[in-house]
């Protein structure tokens, strides 16, 4: 089961610097103009990449437990916050990897805990300070598409944490970000089979650490000088107001297609085919063989058989003489 908090006033919004508050209010106003009064964001990723910390940063409160000894939540948790008639639901999830393999049980548990919910945006969290894309990354991407349908990647934001880093010598920050994000995006598009015209997955750089640099207004900024939190929320709002359809977690998605109903529409056609092309020709051939067999029998045998079968052939009654 998913742990859910009761919707509460979004007081954490007031904890952000004034410039960040103004940017977030402008984005909420954009949602209001599009008649979007609620938004549900699902946060997925491997363990230890910063999913729970990202949830806390978005809400502006400590709603997900994070510690040095437990790098991730152990169950699905939904945090709900309300502001001026708008409801924000953010769903934190356990890590999707156990050992060196995808934890399919964790994915199934997450999916079942979301029954009857609509996911507007997915944030797939990974680390910016990774240096390669490996087979495990591919397995996770495929597993998410298999569990929620490939459409889930059409409403995804790729969030890269630990963005306050110093790139290796000889590489600029912007070049490192471009290489890392392009490698992940190309892998996702290849595994999910994106088509021409599909929306591009936006990139959001995230730094949840208290060591993140700040500007003169107190906003958290990255090495390139960008304020990362409003940019992440902007990507979320763009997807929610875009053309991509949200994901409805219904019974069919959880249980998959019913094999007993698969191809049911073809059953009458199959019966008709069997009757016309199998049963009817077989009856015709059997009848023809029987007639042919009769023609090959001697005439006296045929007459004898007809006499035995005739109802008028009645044996005479013998009477006893006195």
Q: Residues comprising the binding site?
A: 48-53, 67-72, 162, 207-208
Distance in angstroms (rounded) separating the CA atoms of residues 155 and 238? 10
- Spell out the residues 6+ positions from residue 213 whose beta carbon is closer than 8 angstroms to its own: 164, 220, 221, 222, 223
Residue 3 DSSP SS3: strand
Token representation of residue 139: 């397995």
Report d(CA 129, CA 165) in Å as an integer. Answer: 7
Task: Give the C-alpha separation, 183 to 216, whole Å.
Answer: 34
Return the C-alpha torsion angle 108, 112, 118, 122, nearest 10: -30
Binding site feature residues for Mg(2+): 52, 70
CA separation (Å) from 75 to 20, 36, 57, 72, 113? 31, 28, 19, 9, 10
Query: In the numeric block, which tokens belong to residue 185?
Result: 């995006």
Structure tokens at 2: 């998913």
* 4 strand-pairing partners: 78
Binding-site residue numbers for GTP are 48-53, 67-72, 162, 207-208
CA distance 292 to 305: 16
| C-beta separation of 104 from 82 below 8 A | no
CA 269 – CA 7 distance, rounded (Å): 54
- CB-based contacts of 279: which residues, under 8 Å, 6+ apart? none
Q: Two tokens at 65?
A: 């437990």
């Amino acid at each position: 089961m998913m742990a859910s908090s009761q919707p509460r006033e979004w007081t954490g919004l007031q904890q952000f610097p004034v410039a960040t508050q103004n940017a977030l209010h402008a984005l909420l106003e954009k949602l209001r103009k599009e008649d979007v009064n609620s938004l549900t964001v699902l946060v997925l990723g491997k363990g230890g990449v910063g999913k729970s910390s990202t949830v806390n940063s978005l809400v502006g409160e400590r709603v997900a437990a994070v510690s040095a000894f437990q790098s991730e939540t152990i169950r699905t948790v939904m945090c709900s916050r309300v502001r001026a008639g708008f409801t924000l639901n953010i769903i934190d999830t356990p890590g999707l990897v156990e050992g060196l393999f995808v934890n399919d049980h964790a994915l199934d548990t997450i999916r079942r805990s979301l029954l009857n919910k609509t996911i507007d945006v997915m944030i797939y969290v990974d680390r910016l300070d990774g240096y390669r894309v490996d087979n495990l990354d591919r397995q996770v991407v495929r597993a998410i598409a298999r569990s929620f349908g490939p459409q889930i990647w059409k409403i995804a934001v790729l969030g890269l944490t630990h963005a306050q880093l110093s790139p290796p010598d000889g590489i600029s920050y912007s070049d490192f970000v471009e290489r890392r994000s392009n490698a992940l995006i190309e892998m996702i598009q290849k595994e999910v089979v994106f088509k021409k015209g599909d929306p591009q997955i936006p990139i959001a750089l995230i730094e949840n650490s208290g060591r993140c640099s700040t500007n003169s207004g107190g906003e958290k900024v990255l090495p390139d000088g960008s304020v990362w939190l409003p940019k992440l929320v902007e990507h979320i709002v763009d997807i929610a107001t875009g053309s991509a359809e949200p994901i409805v977690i219904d019974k069919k998605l959880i249980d998959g297609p019913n094999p007993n109903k698969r191809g049911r529409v073809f059953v009458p056609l199959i019966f008709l085919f069997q009757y016309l092309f199998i049963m009817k020709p077989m009856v015709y051939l059997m009848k023809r063989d029987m007639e042919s067999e009769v023609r090959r029998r001697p005439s006296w045998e045929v007459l004898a058989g007809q006499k035995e079968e005739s109802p008028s052939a009645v044996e005479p009654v013998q009477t006893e003489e006195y």
